[in-house]
């Protein structure tokens, strides 16, 4: 073994990489850079970033009933919920305040796991910025609300399952209601 062969071998490796970087495919040892604003990595369904609140149809039909389970179970305690009180003074089973502090949230997905009302899910949007970490990072309900269509778009697999489950539950509810109440018209 002559002194210097190891270095020469290493130099050859880098030379080879220099040359092959011009024509090799990314998954084959070529340049694997994703040129971000123009190109984007392929969307991965399981990807989780900050949570969002799903609603059906219009923003006022929030699925969330402000039960506060996610607020309690959130490990870094970044969720703040206040239940809406309707004019009669009774709880409206709807959040009047639903805030998530993005400065605290660690994207663990615990809220999604524990939510019994299929309301809170992990989002794909990662391009979130704020100029002020005290106020702007605390995202209000308006910023968190996203439609079920959006959910279907970003996470088709999960969203379809959830929709099926919800529809089945609805059917069941209807059926049970139909069983307890006398029919009031033709059922479609």
Partner 1 sequence: MSMPPFLRDIEFAVDLSLVNAKGWCLDLLGHFLPDWTVVLASIVISGVAILALGPLVMMYLTLLERKVIGRIQNRYGPNRVGKWGLLQPIADGIKMFTKEDIVPAQADKIVHFLAPVVIVVPALMVFLVVPFGERMTAVNLNIGLLYFIAVSSITTIPIFMGSWASRNKYSLLGGMRTAAQMISYEIPMTLSVVPVIMMSQSLSTNTIVMTQVGDLDLHWFIFTPWGLVGFLIYFLCAVAECNRPPFDLPEAESELVAGFHTEYSGMKFALFYMAEYMNAFTLCGIATTLFLGGWQGPFFPSWLWFFGKTFALICVMIWFRGTLPRFRVDQLMGFAWKFLLPLTLINIPVAALWFFVPERLAWLYSIAIFAVSFWGLVKLNCAFVPEKRIYPLAD
Partner 2 sequence: MTNTKDLEGSQMLEINFGPQHPSTHGVFRMKVFLEGEKICALDPVMGYLHRNHELIAENLPYAATMAYTDRLDYFNSMANNFGYALAVEKLAGFEVPERAAYIRVIMAELARIVNHLMLIGFLLNDLGAFFTPVLYAFREREKIMDLFEEVSGSRMMCNYFRFGGVKRDLTAENLTFIKRIVSKLPAFLEEFEALLTKNEILCMRCQNVGVLPADLAVNAGITGPVLRASGVNYDIRKVDEYGLYDRFHFKIPLGQKGDVYDRYYVRILEIRESLKILEQALSQIPQGEVLNKKTLPFLKMPRNFKPATGEAYGRIESPKGELGYYLVSDGTPQPWRYHVRAPSLINLTVLEEMCLGQKVADAIIILGSIDIVLGETDR
Binding interface with partner 2 (CB under 8 A): 3-7, 9-10, 12-14, 17, 27, 29, 32, 44, 46-48, 72-73, 75, 106-110, 113-114, 116, 122
CB of 137 to partner 2, least distance (A): 19
Name the minimum Å distance from CB 127 to partner 1. 18
With beta carbons less than 8 A apart as the criterion, state whether 111 and 70 touch: yes
Q: Per CB under 8 A, which region of 25-33, 76-84, 118-126, 158-166 contacts partner 1? A: 25-33
Question: In this structure, are residues 106 and 93 in contact, taking their beta carbons and an 8 Å threshold?
Answer: no
Tokens of 129: 């910025």
Residues 6+ apart with CB under 8 A from 33: none
Query: Mask: binding to partner 1, 34-53, rule CB under 8 A, as x and -?
Result: -x------------------
Instruction: Please report, as ranges, the residues that interact with partner 1 according to CB under 8 A.
Output: 2-3, 6-7, 10-11, 13-15, 17-18, 21-22, 29-33, 35
């Amino acid at each position: 073994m002559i002194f210097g062969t190891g270095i020469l071998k290493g130099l050859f490796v880098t030379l080879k990489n220099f040359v092959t970087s011009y024509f090799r495919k990314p998954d084959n040892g070529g340049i694997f850079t994703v040129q971000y604003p123009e190109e984007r990595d392929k969307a991965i369904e399981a990807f989780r970033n900050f949570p969002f609140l799903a609603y059906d149809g219009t923003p006022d039909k929030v699925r969330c009933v402000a039960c506060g389970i996610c607020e309690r179970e959130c490990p870094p305690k970044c969720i703040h919920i206040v239940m809406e009180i309707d004019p009669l003074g009774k709880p409206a089973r709807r959040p009047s305040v639903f805030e998530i502090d993005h400065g605290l949230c660690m994207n663990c997905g615990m809220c999604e796991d524990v939510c019994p009302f299929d309301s809170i899910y992990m989002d794909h949007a990662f391009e979130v910025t704020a100029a002020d970490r005290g106020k702007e990072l605390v995202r209000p309900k308006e910023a968190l609300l996203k439609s079920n269509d959006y959910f279907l778009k970003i996470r088709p697999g999960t969203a379809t399952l959830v929709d099926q489950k919800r529809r089945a539950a609805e059917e069941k509810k209807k059926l049970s209601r139909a069983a307890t109440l006398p029919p009031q018209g033709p059922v479609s």
